[in-house]
Amino acid sequence: MNEPIITFDKVVKTYGDHTVLDQLSFQINKGEKVTIIGPSGSGKSTVLRILMTLEGIDGGVVYVGGEPLWHERGPNGLEPAGEAHLHHMRGQLGMVFQQFNLFPHMTVLRNITEAPVKVLGLSKAEARERADELLELVGLSEHARKYPHQLSGGQQQRVGIARALAMRPSILLFDEPTSALDPELVGEVLNVIGRLAEEHDLTMLLVTHEMRFAREISDRVLFFDRGRIVEEGSPERLFTAPSQERTREFLKTTL
């Protein structure tokens, strides 16, 4: 059961002389639902962006499904794995962004079918069928022909989730998926994410400030500060009896 699907091994990420990830190490097991919490600027988004290969690293190794995303080579340190390998790795991961990042000039349906057709080579009919199922799952079957600007923020984010799922990733990453939403729209998005969390095969890594939700759905919580994990544990333990003063301070600010 404890089969690691994501491993960060002493990962270093710097911007100039600013160290954003400081020898960061952690593992996520297959099927695990893990929440990352921590103050702004602590490196949470950077971790997700590295996994999506939107950012490189400056030291250490990141493994997905046991295979390295970056190889250490020669005196210049790290190089990305070859393009074919990266393509294969990217196929395992999907990401849901804070700002939805939908294609504004495409209908909801097209937002969901575009990548499966272009990247996976599905026929339009296959992609359409998959999209219909996903729109049903996120409760938006009626809105397939609309454009993003015709939807509420909560609806747009549910499209964002359907779009990520259309690629059938084994790992789904969420970067503060409800932070850009009006408070009354947060619940509908958390409901969808909560339902996904019941799927045992799907590995979920979720950055959020919704502590109550994190507590409900996570198997494990990682508390980040300054590019390191200060403390980790089950949500019951970490939220009710944090062992570190820094964690206690942070949790006070989120009440």
Phi/psi of residue 171, each to 5°?
A: -125, 130
The residue (of 20 and 192) whose beta carbon lies closer to ligand ADP is 20
Residue nearest to Mg ion (CB): 45
Pairing mode of beta strands 171-175, 228-233: unpaired
**Minimum gap (Å) between residue 99 Cβ and ligand ADP:** 13
**Minimum gap (Å) between residue 52 Cβ and ligand ADP:** 13
Taking CA atoms, 103 is separated from 8, 106, 109, 147, in Å, by 31, 6, 11, 9
**Minimum gap (Å) between residue 45 Cβ and ligand ADP:** 3
**At which residue do the structure tokens 């999907």 appear?**
94
**Burial category of 15 from C-beta neighbours within 10 Å (exposed 0-12, middle 13-18, buried 19 and up):** exposed
Stretch 28-47 residues interacting with Mg ion (CB under 5 A): 45
Q: Dihedral sign for Cα 85, 56, 37, 10, please.
A: positive
Query: Among ligand ADP, Mg ion, none, what binds residue 143 when CB lies within 5 to 8 Å by partner kind?
Result: none
Residues contributing to the site for ligand ADP (CB under 6 A): 15, 20, 38, 40-46
Residues in contact with Mg ion, counted by CB under 5 A, come to a total of 1
Query: Among Mg ion, ligand ADP, none, what binds residue 76 when CB lies within 5 to 8 Å by partner kind?
Result: none
Amino acid type, 184: E
Binding to Mg ion by residue 178, rule CB under 5 A? no
**Minimum gap (Å) between residue 212 Cβ and ligand ADP:** 20
